Structure formats: structure tokens, C-alpha cells
Amino acid sequence: MALLRREGSIHAINKKYLDKTSDSDKENIEGDALSIIQMSLAPNVLCKVSTSTKQTAK
């Protein structure tokens, strides 16, 4: 959570975007958050998470 907050991607988890945030920006934030989470996981855990049908940070 701290890493997501530091990188400005915490909104992908709590869905509390600023009113002026465009859909394109939301998509970028979501993608950044997903990447941060995936890069933070150990390889054996990532394999289990990567097979999920839903590719969202949340």
C-alpha cells in the first residue's frame, strides 16, 4: 500500500479518483498499480496470481 501511495497509484485500490480524472488516466493508474503489485510478488506467488481471470489491481 505504501508503494502504491508513493507512486500515485493508490486510487486504483480505493477507487477514490479526483472528479477531474479522465477515464484514460484512470486506466493508466490501474495499469501502473497492477504492475507495482506484480513486481512486488515473489515468483511462486506471482504464478498463482497471474492465472487469475481478472486483471485489475484491486
- Greater model confidence, 57 or 20: 20
Q: How confident is the model at residue 51 (pLDDT cuts 50, 70, 90)?
A: low
34 falls within a domain: yes
What's the confidence (pLDDT) of residue 38? Answer: 87
In terms of residue numbers, what domain contains 13?
A: 2-50
C-alpha cell belonging to residue 49:
496470481
pTM over 0.85: no
What's the confidence (pLDDT) of residue 4? Answer: 92
Q: How far, CA to CA in Å, does 29 sit from each of 3, 12, 43, 44, 45?
A: 13, 6, 23, 25, 23
28 falls within a domain: yes
pLDDT digits (tens, 9 = 90+) for 5-48: 999 899 998 888 988 999 999 999 999 998 898 888 898 888 87
- For residues 30 and 12, the answer to whether their CB atoms sit within 8 Å is yes
